[in-house]
Amino acid sequence: MSIQQQAPSTTLKVGVVGIGWAGQQHLKAYSNIDGVEIVAVAGMEADLLAQLKEEFSIPHAFARWEDMIELEDLDAVSVAVPTFLHAPIAVASLERGLHVLSEKPLARNAVEGQQMVDAARKAGRVLDVAFNHRRRGDIQALKEVIDAGTLGRPYYAKASWLRRQGIPMLGSWFTNPALAGGGPLADIGVHVLDYSLHLLGEPKVLAVSASTHSELGPRGLGGNARYTASSASHKFEVEDFASAFIRLEGGGTLILEAGWATYRDERDLMDFTVYGTDGGADLRSVGASENPVADVHVFTEKDGENADFEVVAEPGRAHQAVVDDFVAAVRGGETVWGSHDGSLALSRALVLDACYKSALEQREVVL
């Protein structure tokens, strides 16, 4: 049976490229879904590759992703590798007729992102991107509050993800713009941008005014045992902190901050604050990397009196939800595939490009 005719009961055969933390999340998620078989994995770390092959009972393991996507009967691939490889692997896989789930950001820039979207549309295949933070239980709970009209019309929001010593693998590909596309704005800021626009109902971004700073990373500061590479192979050539003033259609404003290294509380902070015509809300996760649920407070009134309340949320399902949704889209058939072409992730890439251009040229950039 061809993939175009695939029924939900047919086994979906998938492969994963990349065996770091993200790739392992994809492997675990696929292994939890009935009717999905992990038939291949590709990675450069030979010992870890052999370990994962055995752990997940994977028939095929490859050092080269090019060899993996040549497998017969492969239906879909996850791309969980450094950002500069997202576009080459995704485009080649789509051209082979495979569905693709890529880690964020979509690509190093919107030009590469557009190539990926074009390839998905031409092939008539799914291209999804792993925005797992919008799947947090607290984000979803706050989304329900906003969508119910409790806050009225949101007109101002500010959101951030800030670390004190959180440069990922100081001296690795993460700190090389040619490989990563950018620093914390591209790495964790894209999550903040995604969940913020998601919460606000996907308003169109009209213009951005951004600034970037690189103060700690170039001095060898801002990393720790968890985030520092054992040996530096690249100079620190990206920002370690970024902020952006984002103008939204309808007069709304979004202020965004993303920082790998700043002199602040030692625990990560991920937050979102919104003011609306009938109420406001504050989501605050201190220790974001370890804390599965944030504190969420809603501020409103009834009959002229404060009627504030706290939103109780369950932990989200993170990468499991991302992979579940991807598999559901693939199994949905051709009528569904067209709405999963990577367009939303491309819209995020366009905003990030505008932010970096604004910071470089020290001016507002209109999208």
In a domain, 153, yes or no: yes
Residues 185 and 330 in one domain: no
**pLDDT digit string, tens, across residues 82-95:** 999 999 999 999 99
Residue corresponding to tokens 């919008």 = 134
**Which residues form the domain of 148?**
137-315
- Phi, psi at residue 270, to the nearest 5°? -125, 125
Q: How many CB atoms lie within 10 A of CB 156?
A: 15
Q: Do 275 and 157 belong together in one domain?
A: yes
Task: Tell me whether residue 35 is in a domain.
Answer: yes
CA 82 – CA 118 distance, rounded (Å): 21
Contact 8, 28 (CB under 8 A): no
CATH assignment at residue 298? 3.30.360.10
Closest CA relative to residue 86, chosen from 67, 71, 105: 105
Angular region, 260: left φ>0, alpha ψ -120 to 50, beta rest: alpha
Q: What is the pLDDT of residue 6?
A: 46
The verdict on 11 and 78 lying in the same domain is yes
Is 367 a member of any domain?
no
Asked if residue 274 and residue 155 are part of one domain, the reply reads yes
Q: What is the pLDDT of residues 18-50, one digit of tens each?
A: 999 999 999 999 999 999 999 999 999 999 999
Tell me the pLDDT tens digit for each residue of 264-297: 999 999 999 999 999 999 999 998 877 889 999 9
Q: For the segment 174-216, what is each residue's pLDDT rounded down to a tens digit?
A: 999 999 999 999 999 999 999 999 999 999 999 999 999 999 9
User: Which residue has 């030009």 as its token pair?
Assistant: 111
Candidates 11, 21, 22; CA nearest to 79 is 22
- What value does the mean pLDDT take over residues 341-345? 98
Q: Is residue 28 in a domain?
A: yes
What tokens appear for 78 in the block?
Answer: 């996850």
Residues 181 and 200 placed together within one structural domain of the fold: yes
Give 209-268 pLDDT, tens digit per residue.
999 999 999 998 998 655 454 445 568 999 999 999 999 999 999 999 999 999 999 999
CATH number at residue 25: 3.40.50.720
At residue 233, the pLDDT reads: 58
| pLDDT given at position 291 | 81
Question: Looking at the structure, do residues 83 and 212 belong to the same domain, yes or no?
Answer: no
Within 10 A of 72 (CB to CB), how many other CB atoms are there? 6
Token pair of 216 as six digits? 């700690």
**pTM higher than 0.85:** yes
Are 295 and 193 found together in one domain?
A: yes
Q: Which long-range contacts (CB under 8 A, 24 or more apart) does 215-219 make?
A: 215/240, 215/241, 216/167, 216/240, 216/261, 216/262, 217/167, 217/170, 217/175, 217/183, 217/260, 217/261
Residue 81 forms part of a structural domain: yes
pLDDT given at position 229: 45
What is the distance of C-alpha 18 from the center of its chain? 16
> Which residue shows structure tokens 């991807």?
326
When divided into structural domains, the chain yields a total of: 2
Confidence of residue 136 (pLDDT cuts 50, 70, 90): very high
- The whole-number pLDDT of residue 235 equals 82
Q: Is residue 194 part of a domain?
A: yes
- B/e letters for 175-188, b = 16+ CB within 10 Å, e = fewer, are bbbebbbbbbbbbb
Do 99 and 229 sit in the same domain of this protein? no
Same domain membership, residue 174 and residue 210: yes
C-alpha–C-alpha distance, residues 128 and 122, integer Å: 15
- pLDDT tens figures, 297-316: 999 999 999 999 999 999 99
Return d(Cα 268, Cα 278) in angstroms, integer.
30
- What pLDDT is stored for residue 14 in this prediction? 98
Strand partners, 212: 242
Task: Let me know whether 145 and 75 are in one domain.
Answer: no
Q: Is residue 349 in some structural domain? A: no
Query: CA–CA distance from 328 to each of 34, 35, 36, 321, 331 (Å)?
Result: 12, 11, 11, 10, 5
Of 239, 182, 178, 242, nearest to 208 by C-alpha is: 242
Asked if 267 contacts 286 with a C-beta cutoff of 8 angstroms, the reply is: yes
On the question of a cis peptide bond just before residue 105, with omega within 30 degrees of 0, the verdict is yes
pLDDT digits (tens, 9 = 90+) for 96-127: 999 999 999 999 999 999 999 999 999 999 99
CB 311 within 8 A of CB 298: yes
Q: Are residues 185 and 269 in the same domain?
A: yes
Residue 359 pLDDT greater than 90, yes or no? yes
> Are 68 and 149 part of one and the same domain?
no
**Position 352 in a domain:** no
